């Protein structure tokens, strides 16, 4: 795979709960799901989930137990791997802690 990132990501394993906002031409739907952040950088992170994330979805992270945890992410790409999905998400560098 061709590396397109400007900043390298650091491997991690953070279990999270998140809400996905799906928008179509008339409605917005919010769905709760779980996943794991597997790598993170200043402006992005990779995650694995059973929820079928799609490019363009916006997620809000619920279970933020780490001060380095982003508050949200925008899905840039996804790959299906059996019953799970690997996704790359962008965030603006804003982090929160509980």
| Domain locations along the chain | 10-90
- Who's near 14: CB < 8 A, 6+ residues apart? 36, 37, 40, 65, 66, 69
CB 20 within 8 A of CB 49: no
Instruction: Look at residue 1 and tell me whether its pLDDT is greater than 60.
Output: no
pLDDT of residue 68: 66
How much is the average pLDDT of 38-61?
94
The model's confidence at residue 97, banded by pLDDT at 50, 70 and 90, is very low
> What is the C-alpha radius of gyration for the chain, rounded to an integer number of angstroms?
13
Q: Give the domain 10-90 fold.
A: Thrombin, subunit H (2.40.10)
CB 66 within 8 A of CB 78: no
Predicted TM-score of the model (pTM): 0.79
């Amino acid at each position: 795979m061709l590396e397109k990132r400007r900043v390298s990501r650091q491997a991690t394993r953070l279990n999270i709960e998140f809400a996905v906002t799906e928008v179509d031409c008339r409605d917005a739907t919010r769905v709760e799901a779980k996943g794991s952040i597997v790598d993170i950088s200043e402006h992005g992170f990779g995650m694995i989930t059973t929820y079928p994330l799609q490019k363009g979805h916006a997620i809000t992270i619920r279970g933020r137990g780490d001060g380095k945890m982003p508050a949200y992410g925008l899905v840039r790409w996804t790959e299906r791997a059996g019953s799970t999905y690997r996704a790359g998400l962008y965030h603006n560098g804003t982090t929160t802690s509980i």
